[in-house]
Amino acid sequence: MEAILKIRPFSSIIRMKAALYPMDSCLVLFSGGIDSTTALTWARRRYGIVHPLTFDYGQRHRVEIDLAAVTAAQLGLEPVLFKVDLTQVGGSALTDSNIPVPKLDKLPEPGTWAPPTYVPFRNGIFLALAAAWAEPRGIQDLVCGFNTIDSPDYPDTRPEFITSMERAIRSGTLSDFKGRPIRIVAPFVRQKKSEIIRLGLELGADYSYSISCYDGREIPCLGCPACLLRRRAWEEVGMKDPLLVRLEKEGKI
């Protein structure tokens, strides 16, 4: 079965038949950012049991872990916190304090730079650990918010990567033998971030605690690539970022 859903109008996605992904249980890779918040809300509508899996991997922006728990609690869920030390890998501004997070005036053209915030094979590591956690619990679907339209320079969000990882997981686990092969469900992989936000808003997602900034604070720096991409997405949606609205109400900015 193909792992990637083709693009459909938002209303069609909302009405997708349960036959595509059985309404039993799933695991959601949940960082607490916009994409994974949408994925968690999306999954909450489709599965009877949802397990949010949040990784503590030594990331600079560790505030996302605490705020992800807030978003999950709003949906009546409690994240599973999985610790893995990717600071030993190095090579990324997100895991090495000696590498500065870039501050930009505008987003680079796709294909013109190698993002210093790319963590080597991070999503591959996360999916492998998620599959290992899911298999003994009989969980078949690994839901993730990966998308590549607005972030094509990250190799571990591409459709071909997802397909390859699903194939590797199936060949390396007993799930296929048991007749419940593990699937990677990436419903937004071919959508822009603004489209993902619109879908999330239709589903009732709350983005006021979602963190994108790589600087490591709840108050966004507004200059790192993640902040610029987030600002562009909300401008395309035509709304003020709910995170900024909340921070203003709380007198933090």
The answer to whether residue 156 is domain-embedded is yes
Whether residue 7 is predicted with pLDDT greater than 80 in this model: the reply is no
The answer to whether residue 9 is domain-embedded is no
The answer to whether residue 157 is domain-embedded is yes
For residues 198 and 78, the model is more confident at: 198
pLDDT > 90 in the chain, percent? 80
Rounded Cα–Cα distance for residues 243 and 250 (Å) = 11
Q: Name the pTM for this structure.
A: 0.88
Domain that holds residue 133: 23-249
- Average pLDDT over all residues of the chain: 90
The answer to whether residue 14 is domain-embedded is no
Whether residue 8 is predicted with pLDDT greater than 60 in this model: the reply is no
Nearest to 151 by CA among 33, 3, 10: 33
Whether residue 93 is predicted with pLDDT greater than 50 in this model: the reply is yes
What is the band of 114 on the pLDDT scale with cuts at 50, 70, 90? confident
pLDDT digit string (tens) for 181-210? 999 999 999 999 999 999 999 999 999 999
pLDDT > 70 in the chain, percent? 91
Whether residue 42 is predicted with pLDDT greater than 60 in this model: the reply is yes
The confidence score (pLDDT) of residue 3 equals 40
Average pLDDT rounded to a whole number, residues 165-177: 93
CATH number for the domain spanning 80: value is 3.40.50.620
- Partners of 142 in beta bridges: 27, 184
The answer to whether residue 209 is domain-embedded is yes
Poorest-pLDDT segment among 8-22, 69-83, 177-191: 8-22
The label of the residue with tokens 């190698």 reads 114
Number of structural domains in the chain: 1
Question: Which structure tokens are listed for 218?
Answer: 């709840």
The answer to whether residue 99 is domain-embedded is yes
For residues 55 and 106, the model is more confident at: 55
The answer to whether residue 106 is domain-embedded is yes
The answer to whether residue 124 is domain-embedded is yes
